[in-house]
């Protein structure tokens, strides 16, 4: 990297010839600013660099604004810096007083809808892009599994549906309070709803309590309202 020391390059892309056609990341992107390496696939290069450039421009924009504010030229009156953070999520707190100085750092990188929070003493080999990709893929799998969740279609008021959502099958008192709060004519009906959800829970437990199978849905066909009900609570 000494060859690029005097240049103003932000990244260097290295082709990993031993990974070509293996399905593994075949590029290594070295960030000369953050001193980090990230392994990605060649098909991801453009979107990765596009996001990196957005983050770089955001950081540099914040730095310019800070310099303008400190120069006392009036910009401070138009922009509030309270609560303003770099998109990288980096923060530093310096403690003072007789106890000596202390600092804590945390770093988060937002890529699309995924925010990655690295550990304080993370390895330089941490692959942020790979983490984002895995997080998105696993989330899609979990959401897709909800399509097979059992659905209880009931007829009631949305106010009662909201109360049902706050109940817990593991806490019978929560159901007892809801049932006793409705008119006498509706109590038997709610008891049947409770029994239906209990049956869903027993089936989920018999199937091994998988994370994917613990979500059920309660649909109010009178109003069209629907809530997700966690069978594991």
Domain for residue 32, yes or no? yes
Last residue of a domain, one of 31, 48, 66: 66
pLDDT at 205 over 80: yes
Higher pLDDT, 118 or 179: 179
Cα dist from 45 to 25, 28, 52, 73, 126, whole Å = 10, 10, 10, 41, 17
Tell me what the mean pLDDT of segment 57-83 comes to: 51
Tell me what the mean pLDDT of segment 131-144 comes to: 85
The mean of the pLDDT values for the chain is 75
Domain for residue 130, yes or no? no
Residue 97: per-residue pLDDT: 41
| Count of domains observed in the chain | 2
205's enclosing H/E stretch is: helix 184-206
Domain for residue 94, yes or no? no
* Cβ atoms within 10 Å, residue 230: 12
Tell me what the mean pLDDT of segment 12-20 comes to: 81
171 forms beta bridges with 168
Residue 100: per-residue pLDDT: 42
The C-alpha atoms of residue 131 and residue 37 are separated, in whole angstroms, by: 13
Q: Answer yes or no: are the C-beta atoms of 13 and 28 closer than 8 Å.
A: yes
Domain for residue 86, yes or no? no
Residue 65: per-residue pLDDT: 55
Residues with Cβ within 8 Å of 202's Cβ and at least 6 positions away in sequence, in order, are none
pLDDT at 169 over 70: yes
Tell me what the mean pLDDT of segment 188-203 comes to: 95
Residue 91: per-residue pLDDT: 34
Residue 106: per-residue pLDDT: 37
Q: Answer yes or no: are the C-beta atoms of 166 and 174 closer than 8 Å.
A: yes
- pLDDT tens-digit series, residues 93-132: 333 344 444 433 333 444 458 888 877 766 556 677 788 8
Residues with Cβ within 8 Å of 111's Cβ and at least 6 positions away in sequence, in order, are 51, 128, 129, 132
Query: Which domain does 44 fall in, by range?
Result: 11-66
| pLDDT range class, residue 141, cuts 50, 70, 90 | confident
Domain for residue 211, yes or no? yes
Residue 187: per-residue pLDDT: 94
Length of the chain measured in residues = 233
Domain for residue 120, yes or no? no
Residue 95: per-residue pLDDT: 38
Domain for residue 53, yes or no? yes
Residues with Cβ within 8 Å of 155's Cβ and at least 6 positions away in sequence, in order, are 220, 221, 222
Residue 198: per-residue pLDDT: 95
Residues with Cβ within 8 Å of 171's Cβ and at least 6 positions away in sequence, in order, are none
The C-alpha atoms of residue 231 and residue 219 are separated, in whole angstroms, by: 15
The C-alpha atoms of residue 144 and residue 41 are separated, in whole angstroms, by: 25
Last residue of a domain, one of 24, 46, 66: 66
pLDDT at 67 over 90: no
E-strand ranges in the chain read: 11-15, 27-31, 36-40, 91-92, 105-111, 114-118, 151-154, 215-220, 226-230
Domain for residue 140, yes or no? no
Tell me what the mean pLDDT of segment 174-195 comes to: 94
DSSP strand pairing (36-40 vs 27-31)? antiparallel
| pLDDT range class, residue 61, cuts 50, 70, 90 | low
**Closest to 92 measured CA to CA, from 109, 107, 105:** 105
């Amino acid at each position: 990297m000494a060859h690029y020391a005097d240049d103003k390059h932000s990244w260097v892309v290295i082709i990993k010839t031993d990974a070509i056609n293996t399905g593994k990341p075949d590029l290594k992107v070295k960030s000369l600013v953050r001193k980090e390496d990230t392994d990605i696939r060649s098909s991801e290069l453009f979107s990765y660099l596009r996001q990196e450039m957005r983050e770089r421009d955001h950081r540099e924009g914040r730095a310019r604004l800070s310099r303008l504010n400190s120069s006392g030229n009036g910009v401070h009156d138009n922009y509030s810096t309270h609560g303003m953070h770099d998109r990288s999520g980096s923060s530093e707190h310096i403690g003072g007083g007789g106890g000596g100085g202390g600092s804590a750092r945390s770093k988060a990188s937002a890529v699309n809808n995924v925010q990655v929070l690295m550990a304080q003493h993370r390895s330089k080999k941490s692959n942020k892009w790979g983490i984002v990709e895995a997080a998105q893929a696993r989330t899609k799998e979990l959401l897709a599994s909800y399509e097979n969740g059992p659905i209880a279609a009931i007829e009631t008021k949305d106010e009662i549906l909201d109360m049902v959502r706050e109940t817990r099958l593991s806490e019978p008192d929560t159901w007892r309070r809801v049932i006793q709060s409705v008119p006498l004519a509706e109590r038997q009906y709610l008891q049947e709803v409770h029994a239906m959800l209990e049956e869903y829970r027993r089936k989920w437990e018999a199937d091994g309590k998988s994370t994917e199978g613990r979500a059920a849905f309660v649909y109010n066909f009178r109003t069209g309202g629907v809530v997700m009900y966690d069978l594991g609570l």
